[in-house]
Amino acid sequence: MNAPARVLNLLHAARPEDVAPVLSLLSDAELAAGLACEHCDPELSTVPPDRDALRHALLSPRRETEPVLDKPGATQDAVRLAARAPYEVLLHGGITPYGRPRAELNRRLSAALATALGSDPWRWYGVLRLVDTWPRSLTDLLDQAAGWASESEMPAGVMRFRLPGQLFLPGVLLALAPPDVVTDVLIHTEPRSEGMLQGLLKHAPYHPAYLEYAFGPEGSDFARRSLCSNGDKPVAVAHELLDRDLGPEITQDIAIAHDDLALRLRVYRSLDASADPWKTSRLGQSTPEQVHAVLAEAETAEELYWLLTVLGRKATSAPFRMIAYRRLAELAGPEPVWSLELAAAGGLELLVHPAVRESMAGGGVAPLIAAAEAVNPPGPPPTPPQDSLTEWPVEDAVRGRLDGRLDRWRALLGSSDEEAAAVLGLAQWATGQSVRPAGREREDLSQSTKTTPPTAENTAAEYTAEEDAT
């Protein structure tokens, strides 16, 4: 992604008063290059390359979230707007279009919850039970909850059934609770409503306290299975769960919940033949992109041979299989390829790939190499969704690093255009960088600051007291 496109996307996370000044930093050529970039916000790309039109497109939706906490009948909308819903558009680099006002709403809501409910688990439980059907404003609900003298004063509430693709609103609220409150709320909830507990552990944004509770002394088999069935938890947590002593049924729940081939292979390895590892691990549900990525990451001939043996023809189409065959032949010679292909074909010559037959006839690897070179490899698998639906890392980085700092916005315009440069890292990296002159008349896109582009090692720039004060 080029630097102008990155700046245009980041303006979704800028404060309103910064949008026009930052747009004025872009030259006409930079503006055109940014809008033409494939990673630029598609909605901005349809706007004429005019700064006033772009400013209007960036700012016009922002007022929607302002009154929502106090608006009658908008309780459910307020909670949805405060979360990064998985069905919403996420731009390259983790930017949510119009995410700045929603991030600010998230902060306001979190503060309001902490003030009204404190650390009382029964108050939190009461609000979670009422949020789905509360007819008045969210502020009114929190005011009422703050005035409850005991749990018996709570009005009756009904939890709505969660449809696929919908947010579980009680879970969004609980994810905004102070960390030391979440476990107490779960302990308070289980004996009162298993439906609410299952909704929180299975359908809600993941919270680290869920794992601590489910596998702690207060957890139950019901809680553990609900958590393992949650597809919104980070894949790293799913891998951690496989390190525990889980039965085949719960292990299968983990494989079903996550569309991750590396995880499914771990499930396959963990099961014995009596548990039907192929069916339990759902290896057959893997996409060609996932299979190709896993095969390409295999470091040894032994690992590659094992993967091809396990995945076989059920998960690897013939063209993509040839790419892996070439690597295996280059690592260990053509014989392992012959063995794999013959075993997969069941010994029937007609099912053996022509390149493999030619290699067997001549004893060389050249036919395998030629067949692999003729294949267009699949692209990378889709990026998994963000780990948290209630955190706004890019928007918060812009708020803390770039607000009111045109010099740092200019630095971004001079940053590396390399695809690997993470937007979040660049927002942090811009602090303290030298900047070049900016203006509409500057047409030379080759001019830039000669600084080291951010990498995974140097993008985690630390805040200092002086920086935070700015």
Per residue in 80-115, pLDDT tens? 999 987 777 888 878 888 888 899 999 999 999 999
DSSP letters along 194-251, please? HHHHHIIIIISPP-HHHHHHHTSTT--HHHHHHHHT-TTS-HHHHHHHHTS---HHHH
The two structure tokens encoding residue 416: 């590396």
Query: How would you classify residue 18: left for phi > 0, otherwise alpha for psi between -120 and 50, otherwise beta?
Result: alpha
Would you state the pLDDT for residue 417? 64
Q: What is the predicted pLDDT for the residue at 246?
A: 85
Residue pair 9/93 in contact (Cβ under 8 Å)? The answer is: yes
Residues 6+ apart with CB under 8 A from 154: 126, 129, 130, 148
Q: How far apart are CA 255 and CA 260, in angstroms?
A: 8
Structure tokens at 423: 């937007």
Burial of 270 (0-12, 13-18, 19+ CB in 10 A): middle
What is the pLDDT at residue 288?
84
Across the strands, what pairs with 13?
Answer: none
What does each of the 470 residues of the chain score in pLDDT, given as a tens digit? Answer: 888 999 999 999 999 999 999 999 999 999 999 999 998 999 898 888 889 999 999 988 776 677 899 999 999 999 999 998 777 788 887 888 888 889 999 999 999 999 999 999 999 999 999 999 999 999 999 999 999 999 999 888 777 776 666 789 999 999 999 888 999 999 999 999 999 999 999 988 889 999 999 999 999 999 999 999 998 888 899 999 998 888 888 888 999 998 899 999 998 888 776 667 878 888 888 888 888 889 989 999 999 999 998 887 665 676 788 999 999 999 999 999 999 988 887 766 667 888 999 999 999 999 999 999 998 888 888 766 656 788 888 899 899 989 999 999 988 888 776 545 577 777 777 876 654 444 444 333 333 333 444 443 343 333 333 334 33
What is the predicted pLDDT for the residue at 358?
93
CA-to-CA separations, 434 to 96, 382, 451, 469, in angstroms, rounded: 28, 36, 9, 20
Q: How far, in Å, CA of 352 to CA of 357, rounded?
A: 7
pLDDT at 98 (0 to 100): 81
* CA separation for the pair 33, 7 (Å, rounded): 12
Q: Is the pTM of this model over 0.85?
A: no
Are the CB atoms for 358 and 367 separated by under 8 Å?
yes
Let me know: does 14 contact 22? Beta carbons within 8 Å.
yes
* Token pair recorded at residue 451: 């600084």
In this predicted structure, what is the pLDDT of residue 232? 83
Angle at 86 between CA 7 and CA 295, to 5 degrees: 85
What would the two tokens of residue 286 be?
């893997």
**In the structure encoding, which two tokens stand for residue 378, read together?**
């699949």
Question: Hey, which bits of 342-422 come out as E strands?
Answer: none
Rounded CA-CA distance 254/229 in Å is 6
* DSSP helix/strand/coil, 299: coil
Q: For residue 91, what are the β-bridge partners?
A: 95
pLDDT at 462: 34
The distance in angstroms from the start CA to the end CA of the chain is 29
